Amino acid sequence: MSVPTSFGNSRLPDMPSGLSSRSPPRTEDPQQCGSPTDQFSTYPLHNWSYKQHQALSALPPTAIPPLSYYYRPHRLEDVAPRDTILLIIALFFDFVYPLTPCVHKPSFMADVHSRREERDPLFFALVMSTVASTLVQVPRSYLPMERHAVRKLAQTCHEASRHITVASYDPPTSMHVVIRYFDCVYHFCEGHDATQHAAFGEAAHIAVTLRMHEESSYEGLDLIECEVRRRTFWLLFGADKSMSILLGRPICLRDEDTTCNFPRELDDEYITPSAYLPQPHGKTALVSGLNYISRIFALLGEILVRIRVDKRSPPQGQFLTARLEEVQALHSRIVAALAHAPELLRLKQAHSQSHLPPEYGGARFRQAAFTEVKDFFDNPNASRANALNPFLVMQANLYVTQQLVRFVIEQYRDELITSLQGSVDERRVAEDREAVASDLLNILHRFVGAGTHPLLCAASLQLSRIAPAASLFSRLPRTGLHW
């Protein structure tokens, strides 16, 4: 029986004879490469034209290898000890995969153990991008490496993947989309904003080229490929809405263009190339978290479209009243979005809002929460009692995103009321804002206290838009490594 694969086979292009056995010409002494900090200046390329002109001006034309040079089999050991790579992959599945389940674990691990990367360059690139994106998300206390070594390995893995994938766009595959999605995460955590958006743009447009947004395109594909594509598409769909609201960018993947079904709520071991096996009764599938947060992002997409249409052509009279009714309906839907979520994804209410302690939400409370977060990332002995509980991670992700969308809807609802009535109840507005901020702090304080960290990378960006919480989260690192 053939070994299952997590993605369709990639192809090797015809390569010039001799390229696979030779190295690019060496052009400079390693000691002339600049200071240790220069090696991390790849993005952006500081003063690139000046530095590179000096190095390249004396080189013969043959010094630049063709794009196909790197598109050949590689060994993981060429980058780092195999045991180190396997440890990082294990950390990916423990901490990152619950929120980004865009590979099929059983077939992915079968491919790693069978050394598929030594036969398939694109799979090597997938492993490299997986490792790079994991290194910049997992707190350094989980890695037996120095900060400098972790950052250098992440950059090396990303560049190894990029060298290969830049020469392999045709024909496009779902593996290309996943690789670019992981690259987007890597660049976000490294602070390479423009490069992050370029990587996302590639991922989204390759997905559209594959028609991953159309359910009809899935006909005839094996079931593992179908689920990988659906999961990846909905991850891109959510990221698209996040960037749109947080950065004021146009929506790329619109709800009205999407007919793709949500992923099957099955764990990976119950998905085979030819059959869906029954999920055991009472066992909640990990992918259910992705499905519920995708519904929340779909609501965010609906309110964003209305906001931008109204900005171009403000509604008046009966059209304004109708729009207010639509927005109030969206508010009801976002408040109830998680009412029917599985038990493991539902937040347990520790206490009602009226019984919060007096210091709740104040400066001392925020400082204590921040101290817990920082301790989690920096202190190897910090409490991590629930860090391996993926459902707690997904709970935090779901409820923070729900509050963000609730905030956006309430803010626009109040703008419409002001347009319709000439004023708005300022006291009610203040109470609504405080309720959102208090709920957010309550959620995150509980999860940080439980040692549930992977949310923080995304939460620090999302919450920067909600003023009462910003004093806490503006100081959080983008990445768990906290450099």
Mean pLDDT of 431-448: 70
Kindly tell me if the per-residue pLDDT of 365 is higher than 80: no
Tens digit of pLDDT for each residue in 457-472?
444 434 433 433 333 3
* HSE value, Cβ hemisphere, 13 Å, CA-based, for 359: 7
Q: Residue 5's pLDDT band (boundaries 50, 70, 90)?
A: low
pLDDT at residue 479, as a whole number: 39
Q: What share of the chain in percent tops pLDDT 70?
A: 70
Q: What share of the chain in percent tops pLDDT 90?
A: 51
Q: How far apart are CA 201 and CA 186, in angstroms?
A: 14
pLDDT at residue 369, as a whole number: 54
pLDDT at residue 385, as a whole number: 54
Q: How far apart are CA 237 and CA 218, in angstroms?
A: 17
Kindly tell me if the per-residue pLDDT of 405 is higher than 50: yes
Q: Residue 186's pLDDT band (boundaries 50, 70, 90)?
A: very high
Q: How far apart are CA 34 and CA 32, in angstroms?
A: 6
Identify whether the C-beta of residue 459 lies closer than 8 Å to the C-beta of residue 145.
no
Cis geometry, peptide bond prior to residue 380 (ω within 30 degrees of 0): no
Kindly tell me if the per-residue pLDDT of 69 is higher than 60: yes
CA–centroid distance for 237 within its chain: 11
Identify whether the C-beta of residue 220 lies closer than 8 Å to the C-beta of residue 250.
no
Tens digit of pLDDT for each residue in 316-345?
999 999 999 999 999 999 999 999 999 999
pLDDT at residue 328, as a whole number: 94
Tens digit of pLDDT for each residue in 74-88?
999 999 999 999 999
pLDDT at residue 454, as a whole number: 44
Q: How far apart are CA 223 and CA 270, in angstroms?
A: 11
pLDDT at residue 447, as a whole number: 63
* HSE value, Cβ hemisphere, 13 Å, CA-based, for 16: 8
Residue that is written with structure tokens 């028609």 in the block: 211
In the chain, domain spans: 62-270, 291-341+354-473
- What SS3 class is residue 276? strand
The closest alpha carbon to 463, from 399, 410, 393, 395, belongs to 399
Identify whether the C-beta of residue 224 lies closer than 8 Å to the C-beta of residue 272.
yes
Kindly tell me if the per-residue pLDDT of 151 is higher than 80: yes
Q: How far apart are CA 283 and CA 374, in angstroms?
A: 34
Identify whether the C-beta of residue 4 lies closer than 8 Å to the C-beta of residue 106.
yes
Kindly tell me if the per-residue pLDDT of 24 is higher than 50: no
Tens digit of pLDDT for each residue in 75-127?
999 999 999 999 999 999 998 999 999 999 999 999 999 999 999 999 999 99
Mean pLDDT of 287-311: 94
pLDDT at residue 212, as a whole number: 98
